[in-house]
Amino acid sequence: MHSMNRLAAAIVLAFSSVTVPALAFDAAPVAAAAAPAPAPAFDLDRDVATALKVFDVPGMAIAIVKDGKVITAKGFGVRKLGEPASVGAKTLFEVASNSKGFTAAALAMLVDEGKLAWDDPVTKHLPGFQMHDSYVTGAMTIRDLLTHRSGLGLGAGDLLWWPTTTFSTDEIIEKLRYIRPATSFRNSYAYDNLLYIVAGKIIADKAGKSWGEAMHERILAPLGMTGSTTSLAENVGNPDVANAHSKIDGKVAAVKSMPVPNAVGAVGINTNAEDIAKWMMVLLDEGKIAGVMDKDGKEARLFSEKQGREMWTAQTPIKIAEPKPKLAATKPNFSAYGLGFQLRDYKGMKVAMHGGALQGFYSRVVMVPEAKLGVAILTNAENGGSMTALQWRILDHYLQAAPSDWLALVAQVEQDQHAEEVKKQGKASSARAVKSQPSLPLAAYDGEYEDAWYGKVVIKPEGKKHILSFTRTPDLTGELEHWQHDTFIVRWKERNFNADAYVTFSLNPDGSIDRVKMAPVSAETDFSYDFQDLSLVPVKPKETKK
């Protein structure tokens, strides 16, 4: 997964144990009933059609594997809103943070080969690696890269790659040393992406080629995942690719995809229903590649049984959130992160799962080892509810549990959640000091500002407007709108970002600008817009020599 919105975090963790957000939901309300209606019988085609409509999702691909066989690998809906081309079993989707499992598996293979160990210091394999704290730099292990316990805050530093930036992978890794920790090392779980970028770099270095080339050679080709790719550039010329969709002013629209060549270790895989079924099969079979023999005549393996167990062993505990009453049945008894997978239980069985989110795409992979069951849901929209509802419908059916009308229940919770956020925004607007004025003339806020880890942000006039731009993020530019006192709101030109942010200036006693802080306006903003982690200070003009 890569990311979730802040408001959705608690509820999504409660009913899916995967940090994939459900963004603003605008479907017609589900009527409250005195008693819950009986759940309709399971019918995948009908359930998916309902989910697409209720949750406003253009297209979806689903793969289900059970007892070593592919039960379903098919598409639903359309690749792009307004166009007739349908989603099929070979339609490619960006799966974002579901790539983390691939990175973990590639490291597991290197452990099998003796080329590294899980508890090796990172600096043994990447000598230039450096965190903000020198102790953490020396103590950080390969295992720590994958387990979200580094001390970094949720999504810290993600603005180095999200939305698309001009930083290289090496530049992102170099900038880790400037990002201050939020907690002590190994103290608690906080989802991050940057350390998976480091893990991807180690894989590339060991292979002597790019992470993408290593993935093709070491995982995708051996598993027969011939349709999968490791970059958007590889998709060029293939017509069977799903288009990204985001909400703009509450309405779903086709948008451009977000290339992330500098973050592939965290979010680089693009795949389809047929291929991801093969991936789930090898994971559920503890590394065995069904039907393939090695040079010694034994069944071929991607990784050893030992490493398969290690990836699905709890490494970092995750606090269990209390679900909304409608979703009480989904509350786990345990929740933890393994190596590239989130772990929990459902109906008394262990579940290994993950989510993914990139601009315009959400995905989820859920596996129940004891039942030899795997479910993958790939979508071309930014909605977690559709996947959550279908996830529980499918699991209940194959685990022979009493069915619940998850489509209605999840939809209602999403709507309630969104209504709460709208109410909160209304209160904030009503409470602001409308008649207040900025302390300085607007031109005084123009200039260059610099953050220790991101770099420069510029504010400059364009006619009567004042435009804020992130210098290394081409699409992150927008107009400043006065909010109150010395706080403005930047309205991004790319409206599908749904990430408008407060921009607050602090002044020195002499009236000059001391620093600038930012924060998302809405709790529905994806956490990878980690504006709150920035501390921007004015760039002093260089003195000219006399």
Rounded-to-10 torsion of CA 347, 99, 337, 113: 110
Decide: 303 and 112 in contact? Cβ < 8 Å: yes
How much is the pLDDT for 37?
56
H/E element holding 175? helix 169-175
H/E element holding 38? none
Give the phi and the psi of residue 263 in degrees, each rounded to 5. -130, 25
Cα distance between residue 217 and residue 232, in whole Å: 18
Decide: 279 and 227 in contact? Cβ < 8 Å: no
pTM over 0.85: yes
How much is the pLDDT for 8?
42
- In sequence order, the 6+-apart residues with CB closer than 8 A to the CB of 31 are none
Decide: 375 and 64 in contact? Cβ < 8 Å: yes
Decide: 253 and 183 in contact? Cβ < 8 Å: no
List beta partners, residue 351.
Answer: 344
Give the chain's largest Cα–Cα span.
84
How much is the pLDDT for 7?
40
Cβ atoms within 10 Å, residue 348:
9
What is the pLDDT tens value at each position of the chain, 546 positions in all?
454 454 444 333 333 333 333 333 333 333 343 345 567 889 999 999 999 999 999 999 999 999 999 999 999 999 999 999 999 999 999 999 999 999 999 999 999 999 999 999 999 999 999 999 999 999 999 999 999 999 999 999 999 999 999 999 999 999 999 999 999 999 999 999 999 999 999 999 999 999 999 999 999 999 999 999 999 999 999 999 999 999 999 999 999 999 999 999 999 999 999 999 999 999 999 999 988 888 888 889 999 999 999 999 999 999 999 999 999 999 999 999 999 999 999 999 999 999 999 999 999 999 999 999 999 999 999 999 999 999 999 999 999 999 999 999 999 999 999 999 999 999 999 999 999 999 999 999 999 999 999 999 999 999 999 999 999 999 999 999 999 999 999 999 999 999 999 999 999 999 999 999 999 999 999 999 999 999 999 998 776 555
